[in-house]
Structure 1
Amino acid sequence: MKIDDIFRKCIEIPGVSIKRSEFNAELLMKTKEGKGSMTFFQLFPGLTIAYIFINSPTWAAPNLGEDSFIKKGPLLLNYCVTGRCEIILNNGNFVYVKDGDISLTECFAQKQYVYPRRIYEGMELFVDTNTLATESTWMQKEFGIDIPKIIELFCPNDNTYISAVTPEVEEILIKLWELFDIAPPFSISQMKIYVLALFSLLQNLNNIPPSQACTFFTETQVDIAKRVEKIITSDLRQHHPAWELAAQFSVSETSLKNYFRGVFGQNISIYLREVRMKKAAELLTSTRLSVAEIAELVGYMNQSKFASVFKKQFGLSPLEYRRSKKLENI
């Protein structure tokens, strides 16, 4: 499937639009839940790179057909710089790509891309193998790059591959990531060089790290984790012990904690503390509430304890933070 076909399907999604320029095409998503952008640069016929910035829990996937639950498309190579992305495997189980992970697959998201932490930054390479085989044959002739070989190495039997990147692969990916801030067309020339180096390296790795796709969670387990997250964040004044939540879902406390950490990448207590501090920072900036009132609203009856946790999170006391934000707006 060609990238333009994907664009056409993407802009059929409510809240998604496209902006084109001489050097790239940018998909923009804005909904009541959040916003995001994917900036695409076509490097060769059949090979496109996208730089992804998301501040939303989801991004709806394009409808590529109605006959099959899993859609096989181009080879997708993802590199997660920051955040966490949910992937559904062929068997319906869930796995998660996190900071510093790489994934390779020929399957699209079923209904939507899910970002449990709301924030996601990364890169995605779209490889249309058919177009590449007919219009970019020089890649194999001149550089020995064999995309079908890479697919067989990393995605045999339509499997999805996920792993932390090796140092040598990471070095190339970081250089590719940094090129987004450099103005084209120079950056595009550099992108081409690094992408060729990346695929050459992948197909010649001596030891391919085992896929982490074997560490999966079932739909029920993921659902429990997400329902727990809604419970603990719906009213930050409330405190919900893990044993109480586990009993509510008829699972052990250990299992509940494992499900939550698997989906959100953090222990419940750490995740909730960060949510509370983020909300406190928002209230300090947008309201005139006292520090004591804000502390209570985010679940701290002890103002000193709240101030200590806040300073540990932001490096400033609540009042210092409020003053600094006011100065920024002058």
Structure 2
Amino acid sequence: MKIDEIIKKSIEIPGISIKRGEFSAELILKERDGKGSMTFFPLFPGVTLAYIFVNSPAWTAPDFHDNGSMETGPLLLNYCVTGRCELILNNGNFVYVKDGEISLTERFARQQYVYPRRIYEGIEFFVDMDTVNAQSSWVEAEFDIDFHRLRDLYCPDGGTYIASVTTEIEEVLKKLWSLLDISVPLAIPQMKIYTLALFSLLQNLKEIPPSQACTFFTETQVDIAKRVEKIITSDLRQHHPAWELAAQFSVSETSLKNYFRGVYGQNISIYLREVRMQRAAELLTTTKLSVSEIAEQVGYLNQSKFSSAFKKQFNASPLEFKRRKNLERNTSN
């Protein structure tokens, strides 16, 4: 499937627009729940690189079923720089790509790309096999890169591959990521060089790290974790013991904690503390509430404990944080 088809279907989705440049096309997500961008750079016929920035719980996926297409598409290679991304396996189970991991698959998201932590930054390659064979056969001839072989190595039988990157591959991916700081005309040739190096390394690894896609969660388990997240974050003044939540969903406390950690990558207590601190930071900079009032709003009856937790999170006391943000705002104005 050609990248132009994916972009065309994407901009039919409400909340997604496009900004075209001389060397790239940028999809822009702007919805009530968040925002994001995905900037595509066509490097070779059939090979496109995209830089992804998301501050949203999800990004609606294009629907290709109305024209008879299947769920499989181009070979997709993802590298997660920051955040967490949800993938669905052929059997309907869920796996998660996190910081420093890559995934290779030919499967599109069912309805949306889900980011449990609401933040995601990464790189994605789209490889359209038919176009590569027809127009970029020189890549295999000159560099001995066979994308069909790559697919068979990492995604046999339509599977999904997830693993932490090796040191060599990580170096190339970090160089690709750093090209965002360079002007586009100068960056394009380097993008091409590092892309060829990346796929060559992947194809010629002496020992491919085992896939972590074997660590999966069922739809029911993921649903429980997401419902728990909604309960504990809907009113930060409330406290919900894990045993109480487990009883509500008729699972053991250990199972509940495992489901939550699997989906969100953190223990419930750590995740909730970070949500509370982020909300407190927002209230400090957007309201005139006192520190004690904000502490109560985010579930702390003891102001001293709140201030200690806040300083641990932001390396500044609530009042120091507020003064710093006010100064930054006044300076920018």
Class of the TM-score when normalised by the shorter of the 2 chains: over 0.9
Distance in 1 between residues matched to 2:216 and 2:196, nearest whole Å: 32
Corresponding residue for 2:242? Answer: 242
Question: Does structure 1 retain, via aligned residues, the 8 Å contact 2:16–2:28?
Answer: yes
Distance in 1 between residues matched to 2:326 and 2:180, nearest whole Å: 32
* Number of equivalenced pairs: 330
What letter is aligned with 2:160?
Answer: T
Change (3 A) 1:260 1:204: same
Corresponding residue for 1:206? Answer: 206
Name segments (4+ residues, structure 1) moved above 3 Å.
66-70
Shift of 1:147: 0.5
CA offset digits 1:45-73 (Å, max 9, x no partner): 00000000000000000011248796111
Corresponding residue for 2:77? Answer: 77
Change (3 A) 1:236 1:68: farther
What letter is aligned with 1:81?
Answer: V
Distance in 2 between residues matched to 1:326 and 1:296, nearest whole Å: 22
Change (3 A) 1:251 1:69: farther
Distance in 1 between residues matched to 2:288 and 2:118, nearest whole Å: 27
Shift of 1:320: 0.6
What letter is aligned with 2:283?
Answer: L
Corresponding residue for 2:99? Answer: 99
What letter is aligned with 1:302?
Answer: N
Corresponding residue for 2:307? Answer: 307
Could you say what secondary structure the match of 2:213 adopts? helix
> Does residue 89 of structure 1 match 2:119?
no
Could you say what secondary structure the match of 1:221 adopts? helix
> Does residue 176 of structure 1 match 2:176?
yes
Could you say what secondary structure the match of 2:90 adopts? coil
Distance in 2 between residues matched to 1:318 and 1:5, nearest whole Å: 49
Distance in 2 between residues matched to 1:111 and 1:2, nearest whole Å: 19
Corresponding residue for 1:13? Answer: 13
What letter is aligned with 1:232?
Answer: I
Distance in 2 between residues matched to 1:159 and 1:67, nearest whole Å: 24
Distance in 1 between residues matched to 2:115 and 2:127, nearest whole Å: 23
Question: Does structure 2 retain, via aligned residues, the 8 Å contact 1:29–1:36?
Answer: yes
Equivalences for residues 79-228 of structure 1 within 5 A = 79-228=79-228
Equivalences for residues 57-76 of structure 1 within 5 A = 57-66=57-66, 71-76=71-76
Corresponding residue for 1:278? Answer: 278
Shift of 1:84: 0.3
User: Which structure 1 segments of 5+ residues have no match?
Assistant: none
User: Which structure 2 segments of 5+ residues have no match?
Assistant: none
Give the TM-score, by structure 2 length: 0.98
Equivalences for residues 9-48 of structure 1 within 5 A = 9-48=9-48
Question: Does structure 2 retain, via aligned residues, the 8 Å contact 1:76–1:105?
Answer: yes
Shift of 1:274: 0.1
Question: Does structure 1 retain, via aligned residues, the 8 Å contact 2:64–2:70?
Answer: no
Could you say what secondary structure the match of 1:142 adopts? helix
What letter is aligned with 2:77?
Answer: L
What letter is aligned with 1:119?
Answer: I
What letter is aligned with 1:99?
Answer: D
Q: CA RMSD in A?
A: 1.0
Distance in 1 between residues matched to 2:249 and 2:69, nearest whole Å: 29
What letter is aligned with 1:25?
Answer: A
